[in-house]
A and B are shown apart, each in its own frame.
Chain A
């Protein structure tokens, strides 16, 4: 569990660790300026005398040694991300420089921030609501620019506004029922019921479309776990290379994993495909057939999307047909090596698999766009719309499903001609569920759960 101690000053590296051009160390807390001033040597400026939201140029010095040449920005409370004093030290890139600067401020009394602690402070100090805090996490974790767009929309409050509008409507409906129940002489029951029915149906519709968006949102932000399967030497590796070769591809390491468990992310029209064990895919090309098939079965089990690669230059073999059994759920059949003479019967494959194979040449980069189109059709109902709000995490989805069930209960109460007092309980329950998304409903452990999923430095 994350402890909250807002009194101390925290620090962390805020840029991704790697060989970027610059690195930022962020420090937040009452002593942020004091601590940074003690390691900063500016030409003619003391950090403590700086105006809020200004920059200073100088060196970070620790134990008499100049660590790096830096630009420092000082932002004073309350107009900062955490609503506390924040100092950001822009260092030269490279792991060592950033790490040394971080160590220097920690030596002077800052504490290394825990995962998500900056955003948690922003949330707890009332700077952002829960849905925005979660959006920050989505922005950080987004793997494609489309995914980031969704998160940014949420960050701007799109989700908050939408959910709060729904809650407001439910509250009004509840009030109508309550008035009618509390005042026996009030005799507009039918009108009230009609309003509640209409209002619930509308809200239910919004819930359903948000739940649907959750699947899309999840696809854009978390990506689709994909398995590329096939016998050895059908061209899995060259397909992978063709996909990766394109400018759009993003390649990431997951820290702490070994080289042969690499997951690579391929951007297909904004959708990240997470292809696990790419090293394994490459390896199987040299292995005997049996191991190749076994590996394919294993990979297919865990994947949301299976891409079966067949060699178009050879007739279909028994071992190819065995792999057809793995094509449950979302799957594609790729007939590779279109640059060579086709020896495979496309019609026969279609009859066996129930889908039209896509003919490509990974080597010549031919037919790749058809593959992309098919994947998009499979997972998205059209493109992302400019003004739509997307849900992108399981917690929000669970709350929406809760709200949906409660609203359905309300409608069935009306449908079954049950007395109107019974409407309130489920109306308020739906209201509560929606409040979980924006943080307006009271829940014990939600805050810690959410913030422990953050990455460091945000």
Chain B
């Protein structure tokens, strides 16, 4: 777009007001920088174009970490949730996963309200068409109206909007999600800056009319009685409310038959869709083809909000023609007479090879240009928000000329996410999973504040009041663990009667209280009657005391692993290394190392195509 006039001069411009963009803009503004947040349509701020929930396996961890660093997603879902559950509680403390159903409309309204009322931040409707860079550094952006916004840093958070196409059957719409306008010009501008783009795809299921669903044929899924807020600033009482239910049903052979018979009408299988889809969040036709031996798949029916009849049919994402969709939905128990309100569709969009980014999310070759969210090749609101937060913080750090924030893999899921995204080659949208976090026993959702709130405070994103409360909590945990470790329990009749009642074996000699806590059938809470001098402590403190004592041996072993990891991460690779000087590298490894320019030996070792032998060469070169 031709530059017509200079509209404004600011510090940071954020392009896109989705989950990444909102976090990026809020972080930058809260760090004191003059920030503008652009959205193609202000009615789509923090829109949830797909599932109506936040959190879940490993994504819940991300939200807790975002909150611990001073981000907004946790607070916003606490304000707008309509159901909350802690999932996976049987499989270990590190994989507890918090998930809440959101009221989509309210989620949008509340986030917009927060953004609009943040100092230093302007929310502006408009399509950014050009990024202006001179001598390898960002100078500003131009909008469709020819307005030039001069700025020092830009964070690209365009999600799925770049050259987006929505498809089902042979119906193709050149638009962003939910019929919103797409953005074409920016793709061209990025290409002219040397940014390589690729095509990814994702999809969403149909929304159906609540009045046409027979819930009696499904299994009700209620919210938890004792809920856990996402934000460490909230207590359960603060956000207590009536909860709505979700429902579980299943596909069956009839469903699968319809899908198989109509596969040739799917743009995915007929070759119309060029983008690569997510393996971990596949369409129903993908699941039926890939897991042919499974005779049924779980389908969850989830309300999209309290003021709407729209229901989200989780697990039935599809790009089959509308008539096929309706037919297959109607094979599900409870959906026999279902009527669609929105058709399921697949969406294709431009995104980058994220290995052109540094761990700060800044482009390696363009100073001041940052990028976050689905545009980096990830999927999910939470992954987007986490990157947005880091991108925003680092854009602000860049402008201020201070040390950027890089979390490593032992500090948080956010660290794992960003390291994976910029280091590992990915051929499909990246989804966070607990198995990606090697040190997850230390990266629990319950201790995100203990891990990260100091950092959030350092960057000015945590209020003094919150920080004081946090420090008090931390002290209380340490004090109580110290106290409990000193307590011995004698094998009295009273004690053994108590243990028997708790189906735990009786004592023959004295034992440490901590050893009793470590027994699988017991915990800190249960043992309160044997611990007469126990002070009254908050639930979150008690939880920490229990976990840190109960899993002490495991935690210590994991800490050992982290030490080894830190050792290798500490072996830095000089920025000006010439890989042609490193002898003995295989050609593929040499190319990858040159392209990625890893910052340390650890990161180098995680690049696909770089073998342990290559790393040994590199180590010898650095030692030599």
Contacts and interface: CB of A to CB of B under 8 A. Distances in A.
Interface of A: 1-7, 121, 123-126, 129, 178-185, 189, 409, 416-422, 424-426, 428-429, 435, 439-442, 444, 447-448
B284 to A, nearest CB: 15
Given A181-B95, A417-B520, A444-B619, A7 B438 contact: no
B554 interface: yes
B90 interface: yes
B615 interface: yes
Given A428-B438, A442-B605, A447-B620, 18 more contacts: A2-B620, A3-B624, A4-B620, A124-B583, A124-B617, A126-B584, A178-B434, A183-B57, A185-B298, A189-B91, A416-B520, A419-B93, A421-B440, A421-B441, A422-B92, A424-B435, A440-B612, A444-B568
Contacts of A184: 57, 87-88, 91, 97
18 contacts: A126-B584, A129-B613, A178-B434, A178-B435, A181-B434, A184-B57, A184-B91, A189-B91, A418-B92, A421-B95, A421-B440, A425-B561, A429-B561, A442-B568, A444-B567, A444-B571, A447-B620, A448-B620
A418 B129 CA distance: 55
Contacts of B568: 442, 444
A424 B583 CA distance: 36
A65 to B, nearest CB: 35
A422 B551 contact: yes
A409 B584 CA distance: 39
Contacts of A6: 583-584
Contacts of B558: 425
Interface string B85-127: 0011011111101000000000000000000000000000000
A263 B91 CA distance: 60
Nearest to B442: A425
A126 B434 contact: no
Contact of B557 (A121, A124, A426): A426
Given A184-B88, A429-B557, A441 B435 contact: no
A296 B617 CA distance: 50
Contacts of A447: 616, 619-620
Contact of B434 (A5, A125, A182): A182
Contacts of B613: 123-124, 126, 129, 439
A213 to B, nearest CB: 24
B557 A421 contact: no
Contacts of A178: 433-435
A4 B617 contact: yes
Interface string B608-624: 00011101110111011
Contacts, number: 114
B438 A421 contact: no
Question: Which residue of A179, A182, A424 has the most chain B CB atoms within 10 A of its CB atom?
Answer: A182
Interface of B: 57-58, 87-88, 90-95, 97, 298, 433-435, 438, 440-441, 520-521, 551, 554, 557-558, 561, 567-568, 571, 583-584, 586, 601-602, 605, 611-613, 615-617, 619-621, 623-624
Q: Which 5 A-B pairs have the closest CB atoms?
A: A421-B92, A419-B92, A6-B583, A4-B620, A178-B435
Nearest to B435: A178
A124 B92 CA distance: 42
Contacts of A435: 612
B615 A442 contact: yes
Contacts of B90: 189, 419
B624 A4 contact: yes
B519 to A, nearest CB: 8
Nearest to A417: B520
Contacts of B434: 178, 181-182, 421
B601 to A, nearest CB: 8
Contacts of B97: 184
Contacts of B620: 2-4, 124, 447-448
Nearest to A129: B613
A124 B624 CA distance: 14
Contacts of A129: 613
Contacts of B605: 442
Contacts of B440: 421
Given A425-B558, A442-B615, A4 B441 contact: no
Contact of B433 (A3, A182, A418, A448): A182
A428 B438 CA distance: 9
B623 A1 contact: yes
Contacts of B571: 444
Contact of B435 (A3, A121, A182): A182
Contacts of B561: 425, 429
Nearest to B248: A185
Nearest to B604: A442
A120 to B, nearest CB: 8
Contact of A126 (B58, B88, B586): B586
A85 to B, nearest CB: 14
